[in-house]
Amino acid sequence: MRLLVVGQLNGQLASAVKMAMSAGAKVAHVETISAATHALRAGQGADLLMVDYELDIAALIAANEAERIRAPVVACGVGADPRRAADAIRAGAKEFIPLPPDAELIAAVLAAVADDNRPMVVRDPAMQQVMTLADQVAGSDASILITGESGVGKEVVARYVHQKSRRVARPFISVNCAAIPENLLESELFGHEKGAFTGAVARRIGKFEEANGGTLLLDEISEMDARLQAKLLRAIQEREIDRVGGSKPVKVDIRILATSNRDLAQAVRDGTFREDLLYRLNVVNLRLPPLRERPGDIVALAEFFVKKYAAANGVADRPLSAEAKRRLALHRWPGNVRELENAMHRAVLLSTGHEIDEAAIRLPDGQPLSAVDPQARTAQAASLAAETATRAFVGQTVAEMEQQLIIDTLSHCLGNRTHAANILGISIRTLRNKLKEYADAGVAVPPPQSAASAA
């Protein structure tokens, strides 16, 4: 945990800093909000800013946002003036710490901010195999590509690898390649010199330099454009980067982790991702199975999230009922761990009894979890459809069945003869002959919707 304290370091604030250091935080200090933004821009990373509420917190947050620096702010002040505390929260502070400081409160705030380093909850053998491999390679400097569907916990695993690595005492820096506009991502990664482009009013240290000595996570790497992929490849190969507008390269010592929810091998075949970059990133691949393929983790994760959000919302920690656990295990969780976490957060807030029952666990649309195995429900629906279709064709001749199939397909294609012929697997000439035959027999044939449809 890297803590940047902003304000006059005396009296009660100094005591708060000592308590934070006792809780394991690495503390740096500046006196003004402009000095804070300058330090962050220059590459002095921070996981949390502790700011005196006498300072202009809104201006600090705005200045940081303008530099695309996002670090949560906690306000602190002597006297716990409710009005000043409320003003600080409205200005964008996540929390308020009254001074004189309380050691337990400071430790709790630091723990909440450090929640990205949450423990791995693994019970299912499929996920245990992945984590065994992660443990094997974490101590090396090999690049790792972490793949899997959205919401499976790729960044959580990346942080786990960093925590198990020899670089654990150095920064872990994450960049979401999908969330940053293409024209800004190069500056975000490699930094820029003053005057390099319109708006570059000062030198900016990029994420590669900020992560120096530590780990850089390139989240959703598949979204990076081809030109920037070439520059990234050089940075990984040479272990040096060029700031935008810079005149000489800068050496960096980092370990690269990357994530993707897309098939990068297919992206290489499609020409949207460089094959040589994939080889550099994919020294080791950690494929995280979706939650539906690791059912042993579902209830364990649910119980973890219940404890987490009960503590966060100041409510009693209640157990899950047997029926709630059964329905959780049956659900397919298309949104994976992220969907499960949100569902359990809602359940903690909605539950009123001595335990969390199935009625409190709701999907995003407000519907409760089904009591029926979705796979069994799908199989039942397919069986019913097949039975219905079979009954519909019983007693018909092959010619009658063929006619019905052709007319239904043509209707589905809105009269487009070419599309219908492609679906049916016959030539357009054969289709036209069949339709003429049906029309001559008085059968209603769907007309083309336009001149183009008659093709």
Question: Which sequence spans correspond to the domains of the chain?
Answer: 2-115, 134-288, 291-391, 395-454
User: What is the SS3 assignment for 307?
Assistant: helix
Place of tokens 């940075």: 235
Q: Which CATH number fits domain 134-288: 3.30.1330.20, 3.40.50.300, 3.30.420.40, 3.60.150.10?
A: 3.40.50.300
- Comparing CA positions, the residue from 191, 293, 297 lying closest to residue 235 is 191
452 exposed, middle or buried (CB, 10 Å; 0-12, 13-18, 19+)?
exposed
Task: Give the DSSP per-residue string, 166-185.
Answer: TTTTS-EEEEETTTS-HHHH
Domains 2-115 and 134-288 share a fold: yes
For 2-115, CATH gives 3.40.50.2300
pLDDT of 192: 79
Strand partners, 95: 74
In the chain, the largest separation of any two C-alpha atoms, in whole Å, equals: 99
- Quote the tokens at residue 403: 């006619």
pLDDT, residue 361, reads 92
Distance CA 282, CA 440 (A): 64
Is the whole-model pTM more than 0.85? Answer: no
Q: What share of the chain is helix, strand, coil (3-state, %, to 5)?
A: 50, 15, 35
Q: Which residues contact 441 (CB under 8 A, 6 or more apart)?
A: none
- What residue ranges of the chain have pLDDT lower than 50? 117, 450-455
Helix (H) or strand (E) holding 308: helix 298-312
- 51 and 74 Cβ atoms separated by less than 8 Å: yes
pLDDT at 130: 95
Candidates 119, 116, 163, 129; CA nearest to 296 is 129
CA distance 436 to 455: 15
User: For the range 162-165, what are the long-range contacts, defined as Cβ-Cβ under 8 Å and sequence gap of 24 or more?
Assistant: 162/214, 162/215, 162/255, 162/257, 163/117, 164/134, 164/135, 164/138, 164/139, 165/138, 165/139, 165/215, 165/255
Domain 395-454 classification at class level: mainly alpha
CATH class of 291-391: mainly alpha
Q: What is the dihedral sign for C-alpha 14, 18, 20, 21?
A: positive
Which residues are registered as beta bridge partners of 285?
Answer: 145
CA dist 144 and 71 (Å) reads: 26
Give the C-alpha separation, 421 to 455, whole Å: 11
pLDDT score for 179: 78
